[in-house]
Structure 1
Amino acid sequence: MRRFLRPGHDPVRERLKRELFQFNKTVEHGFPHQPSALGYSPFLHLMAIGTRSGAIKLYGAPGVEFMGLHEENNTVMQIHFIPDQCQLVTLLDDNSLHLWSLKQHSGASELREDHRFTLKGPPGSPPSATQITAVLPHSSREVLYLGTESGNIFVVELPSFRVLDDRTITSETVLPWIPEDYCNRRSCELVEALREHPKNPDQILIGYSRGLIVLWDRQNNKVTHHFLGSQQLENLYWQRDGSKFISCHYDGSYTQWPVSSDNRQPLPLENLMPYGPFPCKAISKIYWQTTRNGLPYIIFQGGMPRASYGDRHSISVIHGSQQTAFDFTSRVIDFFIIFSSEPTAEFDDPSAMVVLAEEELIVIDLKSAGWPAVRPPYLASLHCSAITCSHHVSNIPLKLWERIISAGSKQNVHYSNMVRYMCSHIFKKSLTAHYVGGLRSDVVLLLNRVEKGFFPEHHQQCFPFLLLPFLLFHSHPYISSLKTYEANGKFDQDMLQEMELAPVQRKIEARSAEDSFTGFVRTLYFADTFLRDSSRHCPSLWAGTNGGTVYAFCLRVPPAERRMDEPVRAEQAKEIQLMHRAPVVSILVLDGRNIPLPEPLEVAHDLSKSPDMQGSHQLLVVSEEQFKVFTLPKVSSKLKLKLTALEGCRVRKVMVANFGSCKTDDYSENDLAVLTNLGDIQIISLPFLKLQIRYPCIRKEDVSGIASCVFTKYGQGFYLISPSEFERFSLSTKWLVEPRCVVDVPEVSSNNHMHSRSVMENLLKKLNYCSERI
């Protein structure tokens, strides 16, 4: 049988590959890019967000997360949950409806699209005849009411999306019930809002754009009440007991209407313009929430004076004599109120307001005095400005992480640049002591030693004044390395000198065309290895350039008792010139066991094993075109892998990752994870430089995603899919972090469409979240 095997094919190795490597895109971190719609289910306690790219994301308790993507990649306009079901309906800007369901698969719930439907009119009808403007999922969970621009309301059956023609509510059916002097032979115009009666599911409140509101009896197919408004209608909302409802209008006013069996054409109880009498913006959405103390909450979006606040994005809350307008920095997409959803509850008693803006998610606590904002546990935007660089740190000591958490509320801005630290599990934002490189070659070390914020402890000015694209810190012996476009240098943190303060200078120098010369320092690397001879190892600094040159510097660090008197000296010991002269991307030293040298901080805290300093070390130099292994200290070539010549691609990112077997806990190996300019990820073995497997990860046209990719030490990675979101992926079968959530919904009888408190409590107990397989 051996003659049938291809050269280099090892069945044992192939089986081991399947146990070590597996590519998965697991979860997205950050704030959804360009949100366009918001939905909420009181039954499931889930919030849904739709985006302009057609993505739909569901969020519950921290760690509960589901995601789906429409094939059309069109903008999500509306999201509506089916009452008492794990289903929701989305409306896209192409006028298509999509039915989604949460279904269990392989022990976890997944969001899947079940049906797609496009409402079609009779032949020859204009597009406005079936252009959907309002959607109402009925509490019976059997039908869906669709209001259109023509004023007609279509009824479709769920889940088949079959149109029930005999139940269509046309404008011609409604107008005979309206006084002739109000109709004036005009159509009702488009349907703005559809609301089901909270106590009687057979009654539907229909609001038309011109201001007409009717209460439709779906059993008898007739209008029972009509409300004649004089202003253009924007939205409607029922009071909890169904005796009243409120309407909001384009002129910035809202009106309260009574509903009784005695009067078929009631007059409004109250008409108010909160910010009048001058012209105001439209109130696009409104809530009327009852409380036990008798004072209701009136919450609405918009309504501010056009002249003074025409460019503001606000939501106002009125409760008795207390009135507050919340001003947001970006456009408000939508909002909802969290209140008591028990059918037996007499009052709403709102507890919080959730607002989705274009750039953030805001939660307002309506129970506390002053209505303060609550920090959400997720959906934190990665940064307020464009992200240019990111780095992942593994094995952080517990004490250090506690200090980072304690410093999370501090803010620091230096030259309008900010460094933000996040936990890769839940991506909470925090700030801590860090290095900041400026545009004038200045390095500031910031330590959190005061309560009011960060202040500089060390400052190093480089000459000439050039941009600092790279900073490197070594925890022992507390030496920093920096590079400009012309040179690289070191900075001894322990050796401090008193200096006079200079006036603030913020001159910005643009990069010239000559900055791309081959001497540009591309990467820096600290290593304690054998540089001069094989008997003694010493701290060293390695620098790789754009011209394929590697410089090795031996660091002379004086003893601790003489650190204040003698400076740290760097002496050039080696120089390597790659023949193909491609830019050096990464430099790495392998110890005697062919394992990359660990970080000294990890060794000091027993997070990594000490390196093998008995055997011979090897130097791995990675350029954009080749991988090359040299022996140390002789620096003689040992192995080489020509990536560009064989694959036709170039190296963009590289990282050593530890891959553990999913079958046996006692086997793991270190390999290179390489991202190419084509968006592929290749895994290359160490130290023999053999290609193990290749996965397509990022589109080659996505230059920003390739440039932002970051690998971890355990075979995971992140890259930007938008300015505010990271996509997380995994290359390992063992180290996999993904939200595995299960939504277990109890059966609901057809004659009871609402649930009691006990059912909801059982549901929340069964909602398991954040099952991380690590």
Structure 2
Amino acid sequence: MKKFNFRKVLDGLTASSPGSGSSSGSNSGGGAGSGSVHPGGTAGVLKEEIQETLTSEYFQICKTVRHGFPYQPTALAFDPVQKILAIGTRTGAIRILGRPGVDCYCQHESGAAVLQLQFLINEGALVSASSDDTLHLWNLRQKRPAILHSLKFNRERITYCHLPFQSKWLYVGTERGNTHIVNIESFILSGYVIMWNKAIELSTKTHPGPVVHLSDSPRDEGKLLIGYENGTVVFWDLKSKRAELRVYYDEAIHSIDWHHEGKQFMCSHSDGSLTLWNLKSPSRPFQTTIPHGKVQREGRKSESCKPILKVEYKTCRSSEPFIIFSGGLSYDKACRRPSLTIMHGKAITVLEMDHPIVEFLTLCETPYPNEFQEPYAVVVLLEKDLIVVDLTQSNFPIFENPYPMDIHESPVTCTAYFADCPPDLILILYSIGAKHKKQGYSNKEWPISGGAWNLGTQTYPEIIITGHADGSIKFWDASAITLQMLYKLKTSKVFEKQKVGEGKPTCEIVEEDPYAIQMIYWCPESRIFCVSGVSAYVIIYKFSRHEITTEIVSLEVRLQYDIEDIITPEPETSPPFPDLSSQLPSRSLSGSTNTVASEGGTKDSIPCLNVKTRPVRMPPGYQAELVIQLVWVDGEPPQQITSLAVSSAYGM
């Protein structure tokens, strides 16, 4: 049999496949191509040549699933009945998440950013508003979600959408201040338009700005609350086509939310204030507070704070209501991180986030707006993370996220894929990794629990290993649709920490990540694990279920080489293998703690990083057995390792 050449297959996949002369023979109806022998002893011509070499025509590459956090998220929606979550992005993608294993990806063909998402609650449909001023109706009741209808706004820009529960009318606010109504079944505009100049008083000539909020009254679905950017709020009667009341405030509005009884609503403003309005007395706010403003003396105006970008006002049957908002911190706390504030009774809790807040939603027990909401969790969409806060416990712990959102917590620098691993290996890695997980998570089940999925018949164990810029390595179970982290290994614990204030020759070539992983080798059968890093080292790990305290064996290798003169007929062009030694005299791989040569002296036999010399406690799992380091030679830094091969059978 001919030698299997998989490289040719890959080359054929990447290149355009031209018509092959042998392909016509493969379509003939001949049998197995055996030759006949004539009486004269001469072999006959083969009827058909058997093609034994694999070609690109036998393979097809396709996307199966996406892992990780949605890139540049912009919008968030939740179906409280089916308990599924949708995330929109700046690139026009929509990610739909449910229980672990339920993960769906959709993409707008235009690639326009998703401005807003609205579920048709418990109907298996979703409305998306894009930055190209187009509305899309998605059908989620099929294996691959698809767009059923699209509606393009040509003359106005969409700023806000609202779809009441169990309603067939979608309200669309625009930048001009007008409100349009779309029939959700036919997905066409009705003739009903609430013009901005009809909504405000005729005596008011100033344009109220874009529509920033739309919501129907919890008491009467025939009445619509319209919020304008400049601080104007209009309570519009859809039947009589007139404004029932108007509210004016001197601070810009960012968001509005109703009390479930429909008698009061709360606004968040650009000065960091919250105003509570009563429908019976709309002339002035019933209550005004600046939650994070300093208390001033009587007669003095309260200190302004940063804008409160969104507020949600959720009631409880057996306790005080929850007031949850983002932003609103004092300006004198410029160094504080983005925060979410939870007000419950007299208690105010500020939850600081690692990344800017894009959007948040409060999860409630009921989808009906005229009932006690009974909030139980808050979903917070950050620029690079998704967090769910448990509201049922007084310390507001977060839920442990079952989705692989932290793949790029530290940038991924290398990956390796392993199929058909030993069946017990995943369980072993998971049991070891579970001992090192963070504590303090909520003891409740993950609240985004909708959808259903099938594991399928092909259930062979698959593992993906990712190496990261900070020297960490993560083992992931890839057997199912959703990645699950099994075990995390920190290679940087093998080395001494670089002290601040010392010389930084390492940073001359490795600017920020001296521990970055470059290559990975793993033998699932023997469980030997090897990694090489950017600072010219190789670490060999062996697996153990028991904790040990031992010294790490270190081997320093003095690798010398000569570069031959490169002969080329074109001296003006750069050689294919440049003289690295001449390019790197000023760019060093040496670690900052290893600079032992005097100033102006020649560095020699110095490794890039210092291996710990004292006994090190190693928890169960992968434990470092040997560290091999290339060292400086005659003032030249060691070259980075470019190839790694291990034979666990021969111990090499």
TM-score in terms of structure 1 length: 0.55
SS in 2 for 1:388: strand
CA distance in 2: counterparts of 1:508 and 1:249, whole angstroms: 61
SS in 1 for 2:199: helix
**Partner residue, 1:52:** 90
CA distance in 1: counterparts of 2:59 and 2:377, whole angstroms: 45
In structure 2, the CA distance between the partners of 1:343 and 1:462, relative to structure 1 (3 Å rule), is: same
- Residues 472-511 of structure 1 aligned to structure 2 (within 5 Å): 501=614
In structure 2, the CA distance between the partners of 1:411 and 1:290, relative to structure 1 (3 Å rule), is: closer
- The alpha carbon displacement at 1:55 in A equals 0.8
- The alpha carbon displacement at 1:402 in A equals 2.9
**Partner residue, 1:221:** 241
- The alpha carbon displacement at 1:9 in A equals 4.8
**Partner residue, 1:116:** 150
Report % sequence identity.
27
CA distance in 1: counterparts of 2:468 and 2:71, whole angstroms: 27
In structure 2, the CA distance between the partners of 1:512 and 1:349, relative to structure 1 (3 Å rule), is: farther
CA distance in 2: counterparts of 1:10 and 1:461, whole angstroms: 63
In structure 2, the CA distance between the partners of 1:267 and 1:505, relative to structure 1 (3 Å rule), is: farther
Q: Pick one of 487, 496, 502 that aligns with 1:431.
A: 487
Corresponding letter in the other structure for 2:383: E
**Partner residue, 1:194:** 214
**Partner residue, 1:339:** 364
**Partner residue, 1:156:** 182
Query: How many residue pairs align between the two structures?
Result: 472
Q: In terms of mean alpha carbon deviation, does 19-28 or 156-165 score higher?
A: 19-28
SS in 1 for 2:24: coil
Q: Pick one of 263, 271, 275 that aligns with 2:288.
A: 271
Q: Are the counterparts in 1 of residues 200 and 234 from structure 2 also a CA contact under 8 Å?
A: no
SS in 1 for 2:381: strand
SS in 2 for 1:210: coil
Determine if the alignment matches structure 1 residue 37 to structure 2 residue 75: yes
Q: Deviations over 1:464-504 (max 9, x none)?
A: 389xxxxxxxxxxxxxxxxxx99xxxxxxxxxxxx965999
- The alpha carbon displacement at 1:157 in A equals 2.5
- Residues 303-382 of structure 1 aligned to structure 2 (within 5 Å): 303-309=328-334, 312-341=337-366, 343=368, 346-382=371-407
Determine if the alignment matches structure 1 residue 522 to structure 2 residue 547: no
CA distance in 1: counterparts of 2:232 and 2:475, whole angstroms: 54
SS in 2 for 1:226: strand
Q: Are the counterparts in 1 of residues 209 and 228 from structure 2 also a CA contact under 8 Å?
A: yes
In structure 2, the CA distance between the partners of 1:427 and 1:172, relative to structure 1 (3 Å rule), is: same
CA distance in 1: counterparts of 2:169 and 2:233, whole angstroms: 22
Corresponding letter in the other structure for 1:316: T
Q: Deviations over 1:88-115 (max 9, x none)?
A: 22122222222211233xxxx3210122
CA distance in 2: counterparts of 1:507 and 1:300, whole angstroms: 54
In structure 2, the CA distance between the partners of 1:274 and 1:143, relative to structure 1 (3 Å rule), is: same
Q: Are the counterparts in 2 of residues 83 and 137 from structure 1 also a CA contact under 8 Å?
A: no
CA distance in 2: counterparts of 1:254 and 1:243, whole angstroms: 17
Q: In terms of mean alpha carbon deviation, does 156-165 or 431-440 score higher?
A: 431-440
Corresponding letter in the other structure for 2:25: P
In structure 2, the CA distance between the partners of 1:509 and 1:361, relative to structure 1 (3 Å rule), is: farther
Q: Are the counterparts in 2 of residues 39 and 81 from structure 1 also a CA contact under 8 Å?
A: yes
In structure 2, the CA distance between the partners of 1:432 and 1:407, relative to structure 1 (3 Å rule), is: farther
Q: Are the counterparts in 2 of residues 38 and 48 from structure 1 also a CA contact under 8 Å?
A: yes
Corresponding letter in the other structure for 2:251: Q
CA distance in 1: counterparts of 2:99 and 2:437, whole angstroms: 28
Q: Which runs of 5+ in 2 are unaligned?
A: 1-21, 32-49, 295-302, 439-466, 490-528, 561-579, 582-611, 617-626
**Partner residue, 1:7:** 25
**Larger RCO of the pair (alpha carbons < 8 Å, separation 6+):** 1
- Residues 718-737 of structure 1 aligned to structure 2 (within 5 Å): none
CA distance in 2: counterparts of 1:509 and 1:36, whole angstroms: 49
Q: Are the counterparts in 2 of residues 282 and 302 from structure 1 also a CA contact under 8 Å?
A: yes
Determine if the alignment matches structure 1 residue 132 to structure 2 residue 158: yes
Q: Pick one of 165, 168, 173 that aligns with 1:142.
A: 168
Q: Are the counterparts in 1 of residues 159 and 175 from structure 2 also a CA contact under 8 Å?
A: yes
Q: Are the counterparts in 2 of residues 446 and 458 from structure 1 also a CA contact under 8 Å?
A: no
**Partner residue, 1:614:** none
**Partner residue, 1:441:** 537
Corresponding letter in the other structure for 2:413: T
Higher strand fraction (1 or 2): 1
CA distance in 2: counterparts of 1:116 and 1:509, whole angstroms: 64
TM-score in terms of structure 2 length: 0.64
Q: Are the counterparts in 2 of residues 351 and 365 from structure 1 also a CA contact under 8 Å?
A: yes
CA distance in 1: counterparts of 2:377 and 2:346, whole angstroms: 19
In structure 2, the CA distance between the partners of 1:465 and 1:218, relative to structure 1 (3 Å rule), is: farther
- The alpha carbon displacement at 1:445 in A equals 3.2
Q: Are the counterparts in 1 of residues 412 and 468 from structure 2 also a CA contact under 8 Å?
A: no
CA distance in 2: counterparts of 1:459 and 1:93, whole angstroms: 59
- The alpha carbon displacement at 1:400 in A equals 3.7
CA distance in 1: counterparts of 2:427 and 2:411, whole angstroms: 28
Q: Are the counterparts in 1 of residues 324 and 343 from structure 2 also a CA contact under 8 Å?
A: yes
CA distance in 1: counterparts of 2:272 and 2:398, whole angstroms: 25
Q: Deviations over 1:667-700 (max 9, x none)?
A: xxxxxxxxxxxxxxxxxxxxxxxxxxxxxxxxxx
Q: Which runs of 5+ in 1 are unaligned?
A: 122-129, 467-484, 487-498, 528-538, 540-554, 556-567, 571-774
RMSD between superposed Cα atoms in Å: 4.0
Determine if the alignment matches structure 1 residue 416 to structure 2 residue 470: yes
In structure 2, the CA distance between the partners of 1:140 and 1:8, relative to structure 1 (3 Å rule), is: closer
- The alpha carbon displacement at 1:515 in A equals 5.5
- The alpha carbon displacement at 1:132 in A equals 1.3
- The alpha carbon displacement at 1:61 in A equals 1.8
- Residues 352-751 of structure 1 aligned to structure 2 (within 5 Å): 352-397=377-422, 399-409=424-434, 410=436, 416-424=470-478, 425=480, 426-431=482-487, 435-438=530-533, 439-443=535-539, 445=541, 458-464=552-558, 501=614, 522=643, 524=645, 526=647, 539=649, 555=650
